[in-house]
Structure 1
């Protein structure tokens, strides 16, 4: 892709979508492992970098702990449930959640810099594991570990489109119009 192109959907994403389907035992015309590995290879190819096979063979690297240099209370240590435990190399014997974490983590990396899509994947699957905010200023409307689930309607919509916004809030949201209310497809 040139610097002027807008990437609507990274080609690697299609492989990761199929890998997820295969992990869920849907017919995706390939195994979860083959589709996962093809997704990683396509991501490397799309970005014009080499080393995909060595990357896929890495069975030791895991998400690293974080030590906050300013406040040790914000650190995420080894063994924390907030820290992922997956490696890059596929584990055919892993359960569905391990496979999904691996697939979605690589998909999240591959779709950079598409932040909206990455945020949607995180909300839909809870992967990749990301650190929670340390100071939650939501007044209890947003779960610190689940994080922001949606963007509330802006005040201008309430001023200029109140009937439709109020109808959407009451019939579609199933909760308050705030950042903590999950959308219908936000299952985790």
Structure 2
């Protein structure tokens, strides 16, 4: 079986570069570890700033790195929906972040984490799966609220989608496995049930 998987992987990725994790992501992981006072992680600020620098480099925009890193003024802008004013997000809305890019060592741990994860969210683009995992794990970056929720109450408007449902073929071909997984899940098979590492 191992030989079959290995052969499949070689065919699938032949001549292609597959990115599993970026260097920038590692620096932001180290920044979070340092913020949490884990031994050997260095300083949160140095790791955070290196994460931004490496993110710029990996996207080919190194020239503006220092200006961006040192920006202590710019904040996320209010949003005006050109088609429906009900979707507007005004400045001062609690769903709109108020952090700047520049590191602030005097900030609370919550604001430090928001800075780290917001920049990490940007750095991991276009890896949406990783960005979604970081959002579920930390609650950052701050996202606009859901204006129309068609889940019938299964998914929270403020907590967003927490997981992907089991696919129908899994129910059809592996019903015992699905039932065991749902027991371990501790909730219904819908997008509002948190997975084991996503408990509040």
TM-score, normalising length from structure 2?
Answer: 0.89
Within the candidate set 85, 97, 102, 2:98 is matched to 85
Residue number in structure 2 paired with 1:112? 125
SS in 1 for 2:198: coil
2:21 paired with 1:18? no
Tell whether the 8 Å contact from 1:82 to 1:131 is kept in structure 2 after alignment. yes
Q: Structure 1 residue runs of 4+, over 2 Å off?
A: none
Instruction: Tell me whether 1:53 sits opposite 2:61 in the alignment.
Output: no
Q: C-alpha distance in 2, partners of 1:39/1:64?
A: 23
Find the partner of 2:172 among 149, 156, 159: 159
Residue 35 of structure 1 aligns with which residue? 47
What does the per-residue CA deviation read over 1:12-53, in whole Å, with 9 as the maximum and x for residues that have no partner?
Answer: 000100100111111243100000001001111112212211
Q: How big is the shift at 1:133?
A: 2.2
TM-score by length of 1: 0.95
Residue 143 of structure 2 corresponds to 130
Flag structure 2 segments of 5+ consecutive residues without an equivalent: 1-15
Could you tell me which residue of structure 2 aligns to residue 145 of structure 1? 158
SS of corresponding position for 2:197 = coil
Q: Answer yes or no: is 1:98 the counterpart of 2:101.
A: no
Does the CA contact (< 8 Å) of 2:95 and 2:142 recur in 1?
yes
Gaps of 5+ in 1: none
Do structure 1's residue 44 and structure 2's residue 56 form an aligned pair?
A: yes
Bigger helix fraction: 2
Shift of 1:124: 0.5
| Matched positions, count | 185
- How far is the alpha carbon of 1:145 from its aligned partner? 1.1
1:182 aligns with 2:175: no
Matched, 1:7 2:19: yes
C-alpha distance after superposition, 1:100-137 (max 9, x if no partner): 00000000000000000000001100100111221100
